[in-house]
Amino acid sequence: MSASTQVISNQGAGTEGSPASLQDLSPRQVEKLQQVLAEDPTYVGVKSEPRFFTSEEEEDEFGGKRMVLNMGPQHPATHGTLRVMLQLEGERILHADTEIGYLHTGFEKLAEYMTYHQWVTVTDRMNYMSAINNNVGYALAVEEMLQIQVPRRAQVLRVILCEVSRIADHILCSGLQGMDMGAFSLMLWSFERREKIYDIIEAVTGARLTTSYTRIGGLFRDVPADFADMMRSFLREFPTFVDEFEGMVMENRIFEDRLKGTGKISAADAVSWGLSGPILRASGVPYDVRKARPYLGYDRYDFTAPTQSEGDSWARLMQRIAEIRQSLRIIEQALEDLPDGPVCVENKKLVLPEKAEVFDNIESLIHHFKLIMFGHGIAPPRSAETYFATEAPNGELGFYIVADGDMIPYKIRVRPPSIYNYAIFPTLIRGALVSDAVAVLSSLNVIAGELDR
């Protein structure tokens, strides 16, 4: 008798309806079983069964069998380590299922071993397409827990850079959507424009992709002296490019036929599945965190949350283009609203001092030591907790943080938009063609770094 069978028999002995399989065990019985198996040198594990059984496929009236097809994780149309298992009848998708977590990053678990300051760098990697938005969202969550507010200049700079990052994310997503539909020029155009946006981001942060620019209580450093000129030049040129980009897809018969009517999501389904961001608004639901729960002074700016009514892949493309134009409006107003002043709070017990001050000033050196060395640093009160959400390019990005009075958080749980947006994907492509699956997936802009739990 195997160890698992022995434990099952022991746990259910003498009781009516004793457990017949692992699924019937109570949590306490499962825990006991795990302890026994861990001590059993002969136990080799249980191999999981595939979701679709090729040996049990039914034949149709012509003798054909249903095919099981893997789309990803090494497929150019998945744009990342996404795996979709399709059961096909000809070109028609009968069933679909997804796999996540191929990156094996463990972002949330890392938070239990890193200080509040250190974990800023991890937020970059969750969505490398718009790292600044993740930096800002996490910093705002910790700042709310500490009940501090950053200076007005830091708030406005965060708004500007978040909107610049949103534009870069949306324009590249739209370009890659064009590439998947065969419009290769759109991808080349979008990459070229994104690199110009990254020139601005690099001038400000010192990095192009994963910036780690925010600090709890402010920013890494102030913007360069020519920042306003760079942004105004960007605002002059980019709207023309958006018009040209939109003109390339409008009334393009092949492009429209591939996208219109595919992956349609009703407003009720979008809400039921917990969708957010451009995908939710493309289904006609005007929910935007910047409007519903304003942060960083977004209520000071005149902009709208555009919506579409169709809820299909084409509507999601049009939605992102419309949001790019709104982001340009916000940036223009924020530049006029940008005040002088510091970019970090004055409390040196929360914010790392400048390096030059650390080298020349003993007080700054002490503050730096206290913030960095283990056993010191930022330490919110025990049992303090908060949830803070921001409007990231893909939707609502929330951070739930629980403190235990130490410089290392007890738990951080992230609500990334991609994991919700990806969850509905099998439902959207069921009954569609294989080519439609590519069109739908490209419209969801799933980022693999946000899926790994």
DSSP SS3 for 81: coil
pLDDT reported for residue 367: 84
pLDDT digits (tens, 9 = 90+) for 2-32: 554 554 445 544 344 444 466 677 777 777 8
Q: Distance between CA atoms of 231 and 217, rounded to whole angstroms?
A: 24
Residues above pLDDT 90, as percent of the chain = 59
Confidence of residue 453 (pLDDT cuts 50, 70, 90): low
Q: Distance between CA atoms of 255 and 10, rounded to whole angstroms?
A: 63
pLDDT reported for residue 25: 73
Confidence of residue 53 (pLDDT cuts 50, 70, 90): very low
State mean pLDDT over 211-226: 93
pLDDT reported for residue 49: 55
Residue 224: left if φ>0, alpha if ψ -120 to 50, beta else—which one? beta
Confidence of residue 449 (pLDDT cuts 50, 70, 90): confident
Task: State the CB neighbour count (10 A cutoff) for residue 342.
Answer: 15
Q: Evaluate whether 399 touches 138 at the Cβ level (below 8 Å).
A: yes
Confidence of residue 55 (pLDDT cuts 50, 70, 90): very low
Write the CA distances from 350 to 142, 215, 375, 381, 394, integer angstroms: 11, 10, 14, 14, 30
In the predicted structure, residue 254 carries a pLDDT above the cut 60:
yes
Residues near 152 by Cβ (< 8 Å), separated by ≥ 6? 297, 339, 341
pLDDT reported for residue 10: 52
pLDDT reported for residue 363: 86
pLDDT digits (tens, 9 = 90+) for 88-146: 888 899 889 888 877 888 899 999 999 998 999 999 888 889 999 999 999 999 999 99
From 445, 418, 441, select the one nearest 429 (Cα to Cα).
441
State mean pLDDT over 238-265: 91
Higher-confidence residue of 82 and 119: namely 119
76: buried, middle or exposed (CB in 10 Å: 19+, 13-18, 0-12)? exposed
| Residue 157, amino acid | L
From 16, 110, 97, 116, select the one nearest 50 (Cα to Cα).
97
pLDDT digits (tens, 9 = 90+) for 365-405: 888 888 888 777 788 888 899 999 999 999 999 999 999 88
Q: Distance between CA atoms of 51 and 68, rounded to whole angstroms?
A: 10
Least confident of 55-64, 132-141, 186-195, 232-241: 55-64
pLDDT reported for residue 227: 96
